Structure 1
Amino acid sequence: MEATTVIAPVNGVIKLSQESTDSLFSSNMLGQGVVMWPEGMQIVSPLAGTYYQQNDHNIQIQTEYGRWLLHIGLNFAGIATPPVKYTFTDGDVLAANVPIATVDWQQVAAAKLDVVQEVALLNLDQQAIISEFVPGNYQTGGIIGKLNLKGAYEE
């Protein structure tokens, strides 16, 4: 299977999941991947696949490289109106770099909750890795790396 491109779903700094400020992500409990500190409201599809909204801040993506989780923020409980608005329907098959959601981070800040404003892309099945990734500042839609099945890529 040939590697596929991974797209930055948001503007902002992107690092390995181990560098998250939240233990859920930094422990890789949900799988390895990357975390982002968003600087914009628009979120695009990071991978080609089938998209499912799990709740008000989680999207599961079924790809040929396993299941991936796009986790948008933490602890939106207590916000009357969810700050995430989705633009896809469950089961939509999407290419990478298609608008899928907007997040009103100002609404989150105004709620004065202990919210981690991070977006995480995590490999739930641990079947693949993001190769050729370099931590740094990315623009929405920029290429952050490639997906490779584990064992198919040597660092």
Structure 2
Amino acid sequence: MFNFFKKKQNNTYMLGAVAKGKAVELKEVNDPTFNSGMLGQGVAIVPSEGKIYAPADGEIAMVFETLHAVSMTADNGVEILVHVGLDTVELKGEGFEAHVQAGDKVKKGDLMLSVDLDAVRAAGYDIVTPILVCNTDEYAAVEGLAGKDVVPGEDVVKIQMKN
């Protein structure tokens, strides 16, 4: 009867930008694995600095051996993949440095990777960095907030929880 006194439950969750740069829609990423949504929905960032930060509080699930990508699980179960550049696996870790390892607990904004963006570009690779929600179908909606310049931690992916 007096439900209007109850606090409205917030059923949205935001992921933060993993780098300073320009947020772009996944469909603008020049790779069908990412732009088709095959691995999940999200957003991509064209980084202007070579520091990659955690988009949420959670646990590092895996740091790829080639240091070009990190997967993590947010404290609320959102599975996230941060993939630095396109085809950068071919660099075999050259120009990348990991600051986290599997099992580490991170807070939103913690430094995960450093990357020499100039070296990646010089080797002929695109530096666009997708941030994907790999378990997208577990949520009502996953929306990338693209078309703007962002700083680390700024909201870039809006996740609508199912009721």
TM-score range, shorter chain: 0.7 to 0.9
Match of 1:32 in 2: 41
- In structure 1, what is the Cα distance between the partners aligned to 2:134 and 2:89? 23
Match of 1:71 in 2: 83
- Cα distance 1:88–1:77, how it changes in 2: closer, same or farther (>3 A)? closer
SS at match of 1:62: strand
Is 2:17 the partner of 1:5?
no
Provide Cα deviations, 1:30-86, integer angstroms capped at 9, x if missing partner: 111101111111111011111121332111111224311111112235536522211
Match of 1:119 in 2: 129
Match of 1:60 in 2: 71
- In structure 2, what is the Cα distance between the partners aligned to 1:50 and 1:82? 25
- In structure 1, what is the Cα distance between the partners aligned to 2:93 and 2:17? 26
- In structure 2, what is the Cα distance between the partners aligned to 1:16 and 1:80? 27
- In structure 1, what is the Cα distance between the partners aligned to 2:64 and 2:144? 29
- Cα distance 1:80–1:54, how it changes in 2: closer, same or farther (>3 A)? closer
Alpha-carbon deviation of 1:9?
0.7
Structure 2 portions without partners, runs of 5+? 1-9
Of Structure 1 and Structure 2, the greater strand share is in: 1
Alpha-carbon deviation of 1:89?
2.0
8 Å contact from structure 1 (residues 22, 116) kept in 2: no
TM-score, normalised on structure 2?
0.79
- In structure 2, what is the Cα distance between the partners aligned to 1:6 and 1:49? 11
- Cα distance 1:73–1:131, how it changes in 2: closer, same or farther (>3 A)? closer
Structure possessing the higher radius of gyration over alpha carbons? 2
TM-score, normalised on structure 1?
0.82
Match of 2:121 in 1: 109
Match of 2:7 in 1: none
Residue type of the partner of 1:9?
Answer: V
Residue type of the partner of 2:70?
Answer: I
Of Structure 1 and Structure 2, the greater helix share is in: 2
Match of 1:93 in 2: 105
Residue type of the partner of 1:20?
Answer: V
- In structure 2, what is the Cα distance between the partners aligned to 1:78 and 1:89? 21
